[in-house]
Amino acid sequence: MTIQIAIDGPASSGKSTIAKQIARQLNIAYVDSGAIYRTITYALLENNIQPNDSEAIKEQLQQFDIELMADQDYFEVRLNQQPIGLEIRSEQVTAAVSEVSAYPFVREYVNHKLQQLSRNYSVIMDGRDIGTVVLPEAEVKIFLTASAEVRAQRRYEENKQRNQLTQSYEDILQAIIERDRYDSNRKIAPLRKAEDAIEVDTSNLTVEEVVNKVISMIQPQL
């Protein structure tokens, strides 16, 4: 039997941290859907294609070799047979990804790959439209939120720890607000809570508390 768990929410709400820990505990694959949109955006920028050039993006998308590798407890995105790394987390990619991911043909391309993958494996998948569009039949749907200020502070601390403090707290906050605005207002598959999703506000919770809370929601389905 396979189980599908959907975790949606705004930028930097802790989705990947929480989903990774749960995947480890349940011994299932954590699927980072945002990483695929980021990989496409990275590859476009590498080819000097701008996010507003829809015709060039459409054409280029057919040329890309983007593969999702998965196993029971493993998931990886590969670009031209190479595993992708931190290059998809750069400021440039982050600034352009929302525009690229708003194109319907980009979303179709990604959704097809995600749905194929989750047919064969139990997954915990995070993103913006997993509970609403990609896995509407998911057994458990979580919508993770936190105030924009809390999310910016967490991202700032994370960057500091990684010695990657290239943006001030204020810049991070503005970038988060802008990306949420773009992701929430696009016509296709906007960021929103599925009707049957449970909202968890993580503003005043530790990672462990959130993980335990979500695990207790999954447990009855196992």
Picking from 19, 15, 47, the residue whose alpha carbon sits closest to that of residue 191 is 15
- If the CB atoms of residues 83 and 219 are measured against ligand C5P, the closer one turns out to be 83
Token pair listed for 56 = 């060039």
Selected binder of ligand C5P within 103, 124, 128, 138 (CB under 6 A): 128
Q: Considering the complex, what minimum distance in angstroms separates the CB of residue 220 from ligand C5P? A: 26
**How does DSSP classify residue 137?**
T
Selected binder of ligand C5P within 13, 17, 21, 33 (CB under 6 A): 33
Distance CA 131, CA 129 (A): 6
Selected binder of ligand C5P within 30, 37, 75, 121 (CB under 6 A): 37
Contacts of ligand C5P in 142-201 (CB under 6 A): 179, 183
Selected binder of ligand C5P within 29, 68, 97, 144 (CB under 6 A): 97
Cα dihedral sign for 119, 124, 126, 129?
positive
141 binds ligand C5P, rule: CB under 6 A: no
Selected binder of ligand C5P within 5, 17, 34, 68 (CB under 6 A): 34
**How does DSSP classify residue 14?**
S
* Pairing assessment for the beta strands 82-83 and 123-127 based on DSSP bridges: unpaired
CB 7 within 8 A of CB 19: yes
Amino acid at residue number 87 = E
**Binding-site residues:** 9-17
**Binding-site residues for ATP:** 9-17
> Which residues would be at the binding site for ligand C5P (CB under 6 A)?
11, 33-34, 37-38, 97-98, 101, 127-130, 179, 183
